[in-house]
Amino acid sequence: MVTGMEAAEPIRPVEWTEEGLVIVDQTLLPGELRRRWLRSVEEVYAAIRRLEVRGAPAIGIAAAFGVVLGVDEAARGGRAGTGGGAAGGPERERFLRAVEAAADRLAKARPTAVNLFWALGRMRRRAHRAVLGGDDRRDGRGGWAAWRQALLEEALAILEEDRALCLAIGEHGAGLLEELGADAVLTHCNAGSLATAQYGTALAPVYVLAARGRRLRVYVDESRPLLQGARLTAWELERAGLPVTLIADSAAATVLARGWVQAVLVGADRVAANGDVANKVGTYPLAVLARRHGVPFFVALPSSTVDLETETGEGIPIEERGPEEVRTCAGQPVAPAGVEVFNPAFDVTPHELVTAFITERGVIRPPFAEGLRGLAGGAAAGRLHPS
Ligand code: MRU
């Protein structure tokens, strides 16, 4: 476990060190910045389920490293570690079984963010290429250590690519906000550095503009029930020295009606082929409000968040979480102990309410289907959904 102060550059919530996978435990923020190592598939699965690591891209990154931990466990004779250890056929099978077992388990951690399945699909395909022979000179040779190295390199590539493409999202979004002459935006939940490898999606344009000396004010919805806006977004923006105003979710209408923001900027957990957007519950009402007040509603996302296999938002599985998250607030009871609760973690914003998508390859305007197809063609190929 590591504790300590950080420099003020956007935080890296998921990292790989010589000792393994290390995450910032986001359930402890804003009170405590604590990192902890995850050493097994089960620990990564639990950390994703408990929202210690959260946000669509960060979940995918953590799961990719979880697959590496899975083959390490198998090598030590743990999970999926049955079968012969000799080189050749049996070892290949044992390696692939370990990869599949880890990926199957991690795919069950949370259902909505498609980045999880995208990353696991990439890891499965890399494992098969490594073991059976593919486009890398080392593929098909070298045995367990070489195959494991190929997997680790794939997970590191997913992490590094995310950093780069969030910066690209930031550049495109910064251009849009400059065109609008924006000096303030409204956001929901946390689609910042804590939700990605480092720079965030919805907050990336804010960080890019800040680096150019233009400090936008960010109005942040608390984002009940788990308060990702209050606990995480307000924390990371303050830490970066940026102006932030926290509001109760129900105050968003007032902020929009008073003309205090020139754009609403949110992230996404999954975007269907027609442009419908699953994101943190409370995003849909914000989009309705933005339309009512003539404020542009932008969704920032990497191509790995687009799910071309799901035609519309109706097909997106929406996670429902336990009742205690609503019956309590910050651990304190705020409702009768046994009251019935409905607790969807996400909602679906119809594409008609989206002004534009801000992606690593540029801005996509309506009609969205074609632009999203072009963006996600590569990312979606061979994606493996949980059974
Ligand atoms: O339940 P969470 O905290 O994982 O929900 C996160 C969100 O809804 C984010 O807005 C989304 O994952 C985009 S993160 C770049």
- 306: CA distance to ligand 1 center in Å? 14
Cβ-contact 127, 95 below 8 angstroms? yes
Model confidence pTM above 0.75? yes
**pLDDT number for residue 330:** 86
**pLDDT number for residue 97:** 97
Q: What's the pLDDT tens digit per position in 258-270?
A: 999 999 999 999 9
Nearest Cα to 353, choosing from 372, 371, 366?
366
Residue 85 in this model has a pLDDT that exceeds 60: no
* Residues ≥6 apart with Cβ < 8 Å to 222: 229, 230, 246, 247, 248, 249
CA distance 256 to 264: 9
Is 72 an annotated catalytic residue?
A: no
Catalytic residue among 269, 276, 307, 347: 269
Edge-to-edge order in the sheet of strand 244-247? 244-247, 217-221, 184-187, 263-266, 297-300, 356-359, 362-364
Pocket of ligand 1 (CB under 6 A): 51, 54-57, 113, 189, 191, 195-196, 201, 228, 267-269, 279-280, 345
Q: Tokens for 243?
A: 């102006």
- 189: CA distance to ligand 1 center in Å? 7
Do β-strands 306-307 and 270-272 pair in parallel, antiparallel, or remain unpaired?
parallel
User: Which ligand 1 atom is at minimum distance from the Cα of 189?
Assistant: 10
**Closest residue (by CA) to atom 15 of ligand 1?**
191
Q: Tokens for 201?
A: 């999606």
Backbone angles phi, psi at 189, to 5 degrees: 60, -150
**Closest residue (by CA) to atom 6 of ligand 1?**
55
- Following DSSP, what letter does each residue of 244-257 receive, concatenated? EEEE-GGGHHHHHH
CA distances from 109 to 45, 46, 51, 102, 385 (A): 6, 7, 10, 11, 13
User: Which ligand 1 atom is at minimum distance from the Cα of 279?
Assistant: 8
Confidence tier at 133 by pLDDT (50, 70, 90): confident
Confidence tier at 9 by pLDDT (50, 70, 90): confident
Confidence tier at 135 by pLDDT (50, 70, 90): low
**pLDDT number for residue 115:** 98
**pLDDT number for residue 141:** 64
Q: Tokens for 282?
A: 């409370």
CA distance 154 to 128: 12
Measure CA of the first residue to CA of the last residue in the chain; give whole Å: 35
Q: What's the pLDDT tens digit per position in 227-257?
A: 999 999 999 999 999 999 999 999 999 999 9
Do β-strands 263-266 and 184-187 pair in parallel, antiparallel, or remain unpaired?
parallel
Cβ-contact 187, 218 below 8 angstroms? yes
- 373: CA distance to ligand 1 center in Å? 22
CA distance 118 to 133: 22
User: Which ligand 1 atom is at minimum distance from the Cα of 202?
Assistant: 15
What residue type is assigned to position 130 of the chain? Answer: A
Q: What's the pLDDT tens digit per position in 35-58?
A: 999 999 999 999 999 999 999 999
